[in-house]
Amino acid sequence: MLLRLAPLLLVVASPAFAQVPDRLLQNVYARDPLVLDGRWGVVIDPFETGYYNHRYEIASDGFFRDRKMTRPWELIEYDFDAGPALHVPGDWNTQDDRLFFYEGTVWYKRAFPYTPASDRRAFLYFGAANYEAHVYLNGERIGHHVGGFTPFNIEVTEHLRDGENVLIVKVDNRRRHDGVPTVNFDWWNYGGLTRSVLLVTTPATFIRDYVLQLDPDTPEVIRGGVQLDGPEAAGRPVTVAIPEANLHRRFTTDAQGYAAVELPATGLARWSPADPKRYEVILQAGEDTLTDEIGFRTIERRGEDILLNGKPIFLRGVSLHEERPFGGGRAATPEAAAVLLGWAREMNCNFVRLAHYPHNEHMVRTAERLGLLVWAEVPVYWTVQFENPAVYALAEQQVTEMVMRDRNRAAVILWSVANETPLSEARLAFLSRLAATIRRLDPTRLVTAALDTQRHEEGILYIDDPLAGVVDVIGINSYCGWYGPALPEACAGLRWQSDYGKPVIMSEFGGGALQGYHGTALDRWTETYQASVYEHNLAMLDRIPFLRGTSPWILKDFRSPRRPLPRIQDFWNRKGLVSDAGLRKKAFYLMQAWYRDKAAEWGW
Ligand code: GCU
């Protein structure tokens, strides 16, 4: 099986979603980028005055011009340098009380020095901007991106000037009916430059993308490809080396600058949760050398089993939002990732569901370092407009950006196309097409989705959703004892039925509790009630013969505008096994013990 690199990033038909034409740069942190994080001046612009007025030469002329008063009588009605500042990376909601619920536009400004070098190219790389970004450099619009959780880059070689450069970004987090996600979701609508901004330089011809993974059909072979970009990309030598394995091979690019790569994998240690072994991989083409750390493993489905390196595995997981461990706000750093994923390891997890959107790259790389398998997901959540071609194009763009960023990461084993989407022909067509796109971009991993469409008849829950026939692994969200009439103790007796012959992951179950609030097993919101929900759901799960994983909802309490109950929620979703202050609840220890037993039962 030849792992072709992703085709050029889909330049979407609809102008409303016109994408930045540049294709995604692979492994940017290995290029010693200029990190533009830190204090950015901002202008809060709820009426988008600074965007629409630039057609008329008036006082609030386009904010992206960053005009300064040169004569005392001039009228300019904005000033990035005299106003508030925001830290990048970070959401604006938790940095300024005036912005806690804000949904609109904030303009960001960062000045930085640059000395052009004739044989170098330069790109601005954004880890993510939620939700829509317009990018301006030195007063000129250079790029645009829609989608709040995936990276994008813009070549600025011709736009940079010698000396000080002024980068201005308009970020608008308003929810859209034709968005992905759409206007209704159960997480905080954190806006802003929520992940790092980098200035990346490369040689004129450089290694833009590559993928190196074990071929699922012939796991003794690493197969993939290297894509060069630049005037001398075609017909050039490329070398790929894995020094520790004493591997060093040379390939030649084709007319499109692409070189198919094949390396022997015999003797390479397989990456696994027990031994998350990664190898230094050195790629070299002309003046460009790029180093990565790549783990090699296989993941496949065989009947109702998920096999990691050919051995059946049970995914002992937990779901997470991308929220800082203490106090909320977008998590964007390796340190936050280490704490959150450390809690998962403490709970005896070997797996995490990074819900409901692609998390930042540090989360994925930290999971890979800690030996946590990953379910990655695009925010096709609830009721997106499945019949709208522009919405499909946006979903496909986000899937492509997610896969292109992380497909060298051994930890990632599942790409999820959706969460709890209502049954319809349009939805099935939309998600089937999205699954096909993923399989074309990355044939080495499994496709999944979280469904909540099971049918309940006389104590039996039937998995009954045509999408289950499309995915490789079926995710099921089920809240027995929390939503619906059943009290927790009724859950233990429930049976599940599946006619799909596929592995099932219980991708969500659980209930809420205010940490420190105790009572009886019938007192809603107490840790006692939450523990009872877990106790009886775990008994139910123990009796599902085709169950191959669990990722209870959710590791940590998280902010949600849908959860206003005073003194209990206060705009926090309290289903965390850990509180927003990092304190474990009783149910955390139930999961920890259940997973300890699962590890013994499954032998890893
Ligand atoms: C849903 C949904 C989650 C949500 C959770 C809840 O299943 O997938 O995003 O937070 O239930 O109701 O808490």
Q: Whose CA is nearest to atom 12 of ligand 1?
A: 186
Q: Whose CA is nearest to atom 10 of ligand 1?
A: 186
Q: What is the mean pLDDT of residues 537-548?
A: 98
Quickly state the pLDDT bin for 55 (edges 50, 70, 90). low
Mutation probe of ligand 1 site: the residue of 318, 482, 553 with most atoms within 8 A of C-beta: 553
Over the stretch 88-105, which tens digit does the pLDDT of each residue have?
999 999 999 999 999 999
pLDDT at 110: 98
Quickly state the pLDDT bin for 16 (edges 50, 70, 90). very low
Q: What is the mean pLDDT of residues 536-541?
A: 98
Tell me which H or E stretch contains 439.
helix 425-441
Q: What is the mean pLDDT of residues 554-571?
A: 98
Poorest-confidence range of 10-14, 476-480, 522-526? 10-14
Return phi, psi of residue 547, to 5°.
-80, 130
| Cβ < 6 A, ligand 1 pocket | 186, 356, 419-420, 477, 508, 553, 573, 575
Q: What is the mean pLDDT of residues 157-164?
A: 96
Over the stretch 460-513, which tens digit does the pLDDT of each residue have?
999 999 999 999 999 999 999 999 889 999 999 999 999 999 999 999 999 999
Q: What is the mean pLDDT of residues 259-271?
A: 96
* 321 Cα: distance to centroid of ligand 1 (angstroms): 11
* 405 Cα: distance to centroid of ligand 1 (angstroms): 26
pLDDT at 453: 86
* 478 Cα: distance to centroid of ligand 1 (angstroms): 10
Quickly state the pLDDT bin for 8 (edges 50, 70, 90). very low
Structure tokens given for 382: 């609830």
pLDDT at 535: 98
The answer to whether 527 and 585 have CB atoms below 8 angstroms apart is yes
* 569 Cα: distance to centroid of ligand 1 (angstroms): 15
Q: Compute the mean pLDDT over every residue in the chain, rounded to the nearest whole number.
A: 94
Q: Using CA atoms, how far apart are residues 125 and 142, in angstroms rounded to an integer?
A: 12
* 362 Cα: distance to centroid of ligand 1 (angstroms): 24
Atom of ligand 1 minimally distant from the CA of 185: 9
SS3 395: helix
* 373 Cα: distance to centroid of ligand 1 (angstroms): 21
Mutation probe of ligand 1 site: the residue of 185, 186, 375 with most atoms within 8 A of C-beta: 186
Q: What is the mean pLDDT of residues 59-84?
A: 89
Judged against a pLDDT cut of 80, whether residue 5 lies above it is answered with no
Residues in the chain: 604
Quickly state the pLDDT bin for 60 (edges 50, 70, 90). low
Q: Using CA atoms, how far apart are residues 265 and 215, in angstroms rounded to an integer?
A: 10
pLDDT at 12: 28
* 186 Cα: distance to centroid of ligand 1 (angstroms): 6
pLDDT at 579: 98
Atom of ligand 1 minimally distant from the CA of 508: 7
Q: Using CA atoms, how far apart are residues 582 and 557, in angstroms rounded to an integer?
A: 9
In which residue are the tokens 């009724």 written? 490
The answer to whether 371 and 273 have CB atoms below 8 angstroms apart is yes
* 127 Cα: distance to centroid of ligand 1 (angstroms): 26
* 193 Cα: distance to centroid of ligand 1 (angstroms): 25
Structure tokens given for 115: 């000395």
* 159 Cα: distance to centroid of ligand 1 (angstroms): 44
Mutation probe of ligand 1 site: the residue of 448, 505, 508, 569 with most atoms within 8 A of C-beta: 508
pLDDT at 493: 95
Quickly state the pLDDT bin for 14 (edges 50, 70, 90). very low
Atom of ligand 1 minimally distant from the CA of 558: 10
Over the stretch 227-248, which tens digit does the pLDDT of each residue have?
999 999 999 999 999 999 999 9
Over the stretch 589-598, which tens digit does the pLDDT of each residue have?
999 999 999 9
Judged against a pLDDT cut of 80, whether residue 34 lies above it is answered with yes
Give the CA count within 13 Å in the CB-facing half-sphere of 317.
Answer: 33
Q: Using CA atoms, how far apart are residues 7 and 340, in angstroms rounded to an integer?
A: 34
Quickly state the pLDDT bin for 10 (edges 50, 70, 90). very low
Judged against a pLDDT cut of 70, whether residue 271 lies above it is answered with yes
Q: Using CA atoms, how far apart are residues 576 and 187, in angstroms rounded to an integer?
A: 13
pLDDT at 207: 97
Return phi, psi of residue 367, to 5°.
-60, -40
Q: How many helices (H) and strands (E) does the chain have?
A: 7, 33
Quickly state the pLDDT bin for 321 (edges 50, 70, 90). very high
Q: Whose CA is nearest to atom 3 of ligand 1?
A: 186
| Entry pTM | 0.95
> If 0-12 CB within 10 Å is exposed, 13-18 middle and 19+ buried, where does residue 462 land?
middle
pLDDT at 485: 87
